[in-house]
Amino acid sequence: MANRVVVTGIGMVSPLGLDLQSSWESLLAGKSGADFISLFDAQSFDTKFAAEVKGFDPTTYIDRKEARRMDRFVQFAVAASMQAVEHAGLKIGAGNQNDIGVIIGSGIGGITSLSEQFKVLLERGPSRVSPFLIPMMITDMASGQVSIAIGAKGPNFCTTSACASGADAIGVAGEFIRRGDAKVIIAGGSEAPITPIGVAAFNSMRALSTRNDAPPKASRPFDAGRDGFVIAEGAAVLILESLEHALDRGAPILAELLSYGATGDAFHITQPAEGGEGGVRAIKMALDKAGVDPTAVGYINAHGTSTPLNDKLETMAVKSVFGDHAYKLAMSSTKSMTGHPLGAAGAIEAAICIMAIQHGWLPPTINLEQPEPECDLDYVPNQARQARVDVVLSNSLGFGGHNSTLLFGRLNGKE
């Protein structure tokens, strides 16, 4: 019989706070993390704002010398992982480290280090390029450095599926535990893409909002005036365990990971498939695998990027799966506040789903002033809502046609 998988700890570093609690409080207050870019001079860029992690000091978690040898996305991952381990009360040592794995997704990896060292190459020559560049930039180094920092020797790798990377890391980690390949996996996503080349490239493909007159209002999922996403950074990490292992050690059980669905569009490099059919299949897969009736779902954390195509097609997908129940459940896009942290998005949003189960509050979709006519569901507009939800769903989509759905539930219907 397959193992049941539960969540026992969460760590987060986001544009809304340097830990889970402060990020959650900002979400419920409807606070936007978008502001003018401080990480570099963006005055000549079409988009001059982003959702940055402010005030982050890696030496809170990592020795200063080691921190200098990590890209910013790795620093975020280590910080979030250490928070999650502490939250779960998980002790790691010689007796259990072989049973504990790390799977952390990233869509872009160490683009900050890569862009900085390109400048060194061009200005100072090849001999001055850092010997640490490769281990700073490769996407698997978040999981690698986390395992080193905490001593986990189980399965260890990275998932890369663009903006579905963090969700896929959690989904794949859950499958490892179900089949008994690990007892615990530290799983999530991390990203730090706010660099000149990153912003310029997304601007060139017309993916980013250019609402430079009002950055906090730029991310407006499902609103008729949306004009692109707000690039963001951050990380979130969950501690996943087999139910048996969590009960044996008396761990706090926050929620159960009921199932995971993943599909491919085979359609276009950036656009979702027509009618959101790939997302439809991913949602149905997750529901079917868990044996959950669609009417049991009370809340969906939407991918909801604030781009014209995504929001409309995701709405169509939800209507296709849920039928009349689509109008009875709540669905919000927290990217309206966090911005879009690419490969970290699915992990951050999974964490938010678990907090909704735990605390009985649904975060809002802010800046929703004039919904597009085709976007006519309950997006929890502008204010958080108190509501008990027992089954929640999180959608993540990625360039390349990736669709990932995570389904979480209250354990046995109890707190």
The encoded tokens of residue 153 equal 């020797």
Q: Which two tokens stand for residue 183?
A: 């007892």
Q: Is the dihedral of CA 272, 276, 277, 281 positive or negative?
A: positive
Give the CA angle between residues 357, 360, 361 to the nearest 5°: 105
Contact 334, 222 (CB under 8 A): no
Please name the fold of domain 260-409.
Peroxisomal Thiolase; Chain A, domain 1 (3.40.47)
Q: Between the CA of residue 385 and those of 112, 184, 331, 388, 393, what are the distances in Å?
A: 38, 33, 11, 10, 17
Which of 217, 251, 172 lies closest to 382 in space, CA to CA? Answer: 217
118, HSE (Cβ side, Cα atoms, 13 Å) = 10
Q: Would you say domain 5-248 falls under CATH 1.10.287.3510? A: no
Phi, psi at residue 48, to the nearest 5°? -110, 10
Q: Point out which residues pair with 94 in neighbouring strands.
A: none
d(CA 371, CA 263): 28
pLDDT digit string, tens, across residues 349-377? 999 999 999 999 999 999 999 999 999 99
- State pLDDT tens for residues 128-162: 999 999 999 999 999 999 999 999 999 999 999 99
Which sequence spans correspond to the domains of the chain?
5-248, 260-409
What does the pLDDT read at residue 222? 98
Q: For tokens 């009736």, what's the residue?
A: 293
Q: Write down the pLDDT at residue 274.
A: 87
- What's the full length of the chain, in residues? 415
- Identify the segments of the chain with pLDDT beneath 50: 413-415
Contacts of 22 (CB under 8 A, 6+ apart): 16
Contact 25, 37 (CB under 8 A): no
- Phi first, then psi: what are they for 394, rounded to 5°? -125, 125
Q: Are 208 and 228 in contact (CB under 8 A)?
A: yes
For residue 408, what are the β-bridge partners?
A: 257, 392
Catalytic positions, written as ranges: 163, 303, 340
CB 363, CB 352: distance < 8 Å:
yes
Phi and psi dihedrals of 288, rounded to 5? -65, -45
| Residue 357 CB contacts under 8 Å (≥ 6 apart), including other chains | 254, 255, 389, 390, 392, 408, 409, 410
Q: Are 157 and 129 in contact (CB under 8 A)?
A: no
Fold agreement (5-248, 260-409): yes
